[in-house]
Structure 1
Amino acid sequence: MQENENKPYKIPESVLVVIHTPDLQVLLLERADKPGYWQSVTGSKDSIDEPLVETARREVFEETGIEGGELVDWQLANHYEIYPVWRHRYAPGVTHNLEHVFGLTVPEASAVRLAPREHLQYRWLPWAEAADLCFSPSNAEAVLQLPRFRS
């Protein structure tokens, strides 16, 4: 893995974690690097051999401070083109990412502690409203799938 501005290149395999309450309120986060862009928790594997479930738990904790909850691999994957604005984070020539979708059920009163370098604010919204607010089509589609996968 080569260095990119003193950081390793991101691995083009990631997770998308739809965090929700039992009554289908969905947690969305506003990106610090793109104000107005709302999303679920996302993040790349730290190493090629990192299990996806560990990537999901790590990213949830890093971005929200949430530990625990019922994490379910929805067995869905999205293969998409990486937005040009973020391609510099990947090795030269990498243009696509494989994203694995998870759901995480948490208690209604779950406290959220944002990673300030990554997110500006958060909102809990009913699932349909949350889907409308997501900037990423794959994220919106995952949120729309939530009633089907609720635990």
Structure 2
Amino acid sequence: MPAFKVPESVLVVIHTPSLQVLLIERADAPGFWQSVTGSKDHEDESWEATALREVAEETGIDARAPGCQLCDWGLENVYEIYPRWRHRYAPGVTHNRERVFGLLVPEGTPVRLSPREHAASRWLPWAAAAEACFSPSNAEAISHLPRWVAPA
């Protein structure tokens, strides 16, 4: 693991066929609700490998399990890293590149949070989930969900 975080990350919108979206609350920032996010472990890690690893670490969900379908939406965001988290990156790094994925999971998929990273989880209809996100790029990604998935 590098001394500093790689400024390339994934955003994974986890959803059911009925467009219920999983949001998780950050342990280090109460009230900050988001989808699964996480940086590459190293620069050569693929986007897909990062997404699979982060989903498993943060939610306990195996994205390769029957009924699950990980989809690279081909969208990328570049955003300024919040000042409160810049110490995690090399000096002078102020922006992050984020690749967006969707993960379809069966209704009733259990969630097992990493308590070090997240304090709570909830499933919300996609529009309510977009409104609940603290991150504008996360809210925008969730707002794209109906374009990617036909509701059940």
Normalised TM-score (structure 2): 0.94
Opposite residue 60 of structure 1, the aligned amino acid is V
Residue in structure 1 matched with residue 114 of structure 2 by the alignment: 115
User: Is the counterpart of residue 13 in structure 1 residue 8 in structure 2?
Assistant: yes
C-alpha deviation, 1:150, in angstroms: 1.5
Per-residue displacement from partner, 1:57-91 (whole Å, max 9, x unpaired)?
A: 00000000000310000000000000000000000
CA–CA distance in structure 2, aligned partners of residues 29 and 127 of structure 1 = 14
Pick one of 46, 51, 55 that aligns with 2:50.
Answer: 55
Opposite residue 13 of structure 1, the aligned amino acid is E
Pick one of 15, 23, 29 that aligns with 1:28.
Answer: 23
Per-residue displacement from partner, 1:88-141 (whole Å, max 9, x unpaired)?
A: 000000000000000000000100000001000000000000000000000000
| SS at 1:57 equivalent | helix
CA–CA distance in structure 1, aligned partners of residues 117 and 29 of structure 2 = 10
CA–CA distance in structure 2, aligned partners of residues 101 and 89 of structure 1 = 21
Percent identity for Structure 1 against Structure 2 = 70
Opposite residue 128 of structure 2, the aligned amino acid is E
Per-residue displacement from partner, 1:13-39 (whole Å, max 9, x unpaired)?
A: 000000000000000000000000000
User: What are the ranges of 5 or more consecutive residues in structure 1 without an aligned counterpart?
Assistant: 3-7
**Aligned residues: CA RMSD:** 1.1
Opposite residue 11 of structure 1, the aligned amino acid is V
Q: Please show how residues 126-137 of structure 1 align to structure 2 within 5 Å.
A: 126-137=125-136
CA–CA distance in structure 2, aligned partners of residues 47 and 21 of structure 1 = 30
User: What are the ranges of 5 or more consecutive residues in structure 2 without an aligned counterpart?
Assistant: none
List structure 1 runs of 4+ shifted beyond 2 angstroms.
none
C-alpha deviation, 1:149, in angstroms: 1.1
CA–CA distance in structure 1, aligned partners of residues 21 and 143 of structure 2 = 11
Opposite residue 134 of structure 2, the aligned amino acid is F
Residue in structure 2 matched with residue 5 of structure 1 by the alignment: none
